[in-house]
Amino acid sequence: MKDFRYLEGVATLVLNEEKCIGCGECEIVCPHGVFILDNKKAAVIDKDGCMECGACALNCPVSAIEVTPGVGCAAYIIQTWVKRKDSTACGGGAVCC
């Protein structure tokens, strides 16, 4: 999203171009246009646009993409600090989504 930008240089996204088979799935699923398919290889063109949703990594058939996926939600992160991770609920008692 060009009109909204968040912190720069933090995204954990890594693309292994050697593994890439150029299927273009990452380019389709990314809602922020982070990838582009160029010469039958995916390339990251806007890493700071990445919100780490993990859609690309999950849909890469050859596991060429790595990202630490998660919810960019302060209330959720506070819960993970206080409680154990598996007992946190996004949207339940707390905010977000």
Partner 1 sequence: MNENSCCGTKNSVGPTGLQIQPFSSKQADDEVCCGTPAGPPSSPYEKPGYQIVRFVDGFMDMDSGLVPKVNTHLSLFDIAGSIMTRVGVNRNRYKISPGLYGIGNPTPDSPVLVTANYKLSFDTVRKELSGINAWLLVLDTHGINVWCAAGKGTFGTQELVKQVEASGLKQIVNHRKLVVPQLGATGISAHQVKKQCEFKVIWGPVRAADIGEFLNHDMKASVGMRRVTFSLPERLVLIPVEIYIGFKPVLLTMFLLFLLSGIGSDFFSFKNAWERGLIGISSLVGGVIAGAVLTPVFLQNLPGRAFSIKGAVAGIVTAIVVVLWYWKDTIWLETIGLMLFVITISSYLAMNFTGSTPFTSPTGVEKEMRKAIPLQAFALIVAAISWIGAGFL
Residue 1 Cβ vs partner 1, minimum distance, rounded to whole Å: 5
Nearer to partner 1, 40 or 63 (CB): 63
| 74 lines the binding site for partner 1 (CB under 8 A) | yes
Nearest to 74 by CA among 47, 97, 43: 97
CA angle centred on 74, ends 26 and 55, rounded to 5°: 10
Under rule CB under 8 A, residue 12 binds partner 1 = yes
Question: Three-state SS for 56?
Answer: helix
Residue from 19, 33, 38, 45 in contact with partner 1 (CB under 8 A): 33
- Take residue 45 and report the two structure tokens written for it: 């063109």
Q: Does 10 bind partner 1 (CB under 8 A)?
A: yes
